Homo-oligomer: A and B are copies of this chain.
Amino acid sequence: MIKVGIVGGTGYTGVELLRLLERHPQVELKAITSRKEAGMPVVDMFPNLRGRVRLAFSTPEDAGLENCDVVFFATPNGVAMQQTRALLDAGVKVIDLAADFRIKDIAVWEHWYKMEHACPDLVAEAVYGLPEINRAAIKGARLIANPGCYPTAVQLGFLPLLESGAVDAGFLVADAKSGVSGAGRKAEIATLFAESADNFKAYAVGGHRHWPEIKQGLESFAGKPVGFTFVPHLLPLIRGIHATLYAKVSADIDLQSLFEKRYADEPFVDVLPAGSHPETRSVRGANMCRIAVHRPFGSDTVVVLSVIDNLVKGAAGQAVQNMNILFDLPEDTALDAVGMLP
């Protein structure tokens, strides 16, 4: 059994890790930390887990994380980088669901996250946990930087186009929409029901932290600098990201076939038949990215539609997928649930 610890268990990625891991046949949940709620049984906060998760929250000090085989950080940005070295030194694998190890250029990271990085050398070592491009590296890693939710949906949508050189890398647009759970379980006015229900808006058009993360990925796929515009929007739904991607076709390629071939062996990317429109609910609760590719009116504009559940393939599910790869388990262990529809 794999001994698992979770740091920061009171947020949505934390409870989602619990929901997925409690039925993982190879996992033994050892600890889940919350300094604020230490002592409270997890099920008092998350009653959906009653009868299934018997842990109580513990302080990080009392959690015995160094005795785990793997620790997930489901914490705000800037926490994991303070604790990772000690865990790695103790032989514990680390999967960070926050952004601490995602961006290789430390200056860029420090600019966007507005703090000094505590361990640039570990950033260099960390493997970006997008299995569809990094499976082999993940297998041998000690430290995984689990991708952001928008970055997962956007990168998987652009990947075949940029790898193949099928589009002009100079003008890429991602119009992305996220459910409100993407903002986390934090007391804030902007994400109150009465503020975000029956409403829709863009936000952070002037600059969002996922922009440099995605750009880094797109440039590695393209092998050159890209021009990339990213506009996130807040959707009045709980779970789900829909990325609508635009690019100019620069080569005469069968795009449907390109996508199907690229993802033929990927268990968690599903290329829909030509003409399809993926719905976010088709992946609700599921570790799956569904993609459709269009070329309206045969023009030179390609439109890619990419959907994920931001808490699953965009966070906790992908983290468990990475854990399965790390520990040489079948990649879909505990990740076989289908989307809940309706």
Contact of A191 with B193 at beta-carbon distance under 8 Å, contacts A201-B277, A337-B337 already known:
yes
> Which A217-247 residues have C-beta < 8 A from chain B?
227, 229-231, 233, 235-240, 242, 244, 246
One complex includes copies of this chain to the number of 4
Greatest chain B CB density within 10 A among A188, A191, A285, A342 is at A342
Binds B, one of A27-35, A49-57, A59-67, A321-329: A49-57
Contact with B along A186-197 (1 / 0, CB 8 A): 111101111111
Q: Which residues of B contact A185 (CB under 8 A)?
A: 189, 192, 194-195, 342
Contact of A189 with B189 at beta-carbon distance under 8 Å, contacts A194-B12, A303-B229 already known:
no
Interface residue A264 (Cβ < 8 Å from any Cβ of B): no
- Verify A198–B238 contact, CB threshold 8 A: yes
Binds B, one of A105-113, A130-138, A139-147, A294-302: A294-302
A184 to B242, CA, bound (A): 24
Q: Which residues of B contact A177 (CB under 8 A)?
A: 177, 200, 233
- Verify A338–B48 contact, CB threshold 8 A: yes
> Which A293-339 residues have C-beta < 8 A from chain B?
294, 296-297, 299, 301, 303, 305, 307, 311, 336-339
Listed from nearest, the 4 A-B pairs whose CB atoms lie closest are A48-B339, A175-B175, A180-B193, A199-B281
Chain A positions near chain B (C-beta within 8 angstroms): 12, 15, 19, 22-23, 46-52, 171, 173, 175, 177, 179-181, 183, 185-189, 191-203, 205-207, 227, 229-231, 233, 235-240, 242, 244, 246, 248, 270, 272, 275-286, 290, 292, 294, 296-297, 299, 301, 303, 305, 307, 311, 336-342
Known: A177-B177, A227-B299. 18 other contacts (CB 8 A): A22-B338, A23-B336, A47-B279, A47-B282, A48-B282, A48-B284, A171-B248, A187-B188, A197-B197, A197-B236, A200-B240, A201-B278, A201-B280, A205-B296, A206-B297, A233-B242, A236-B236, A284-B340
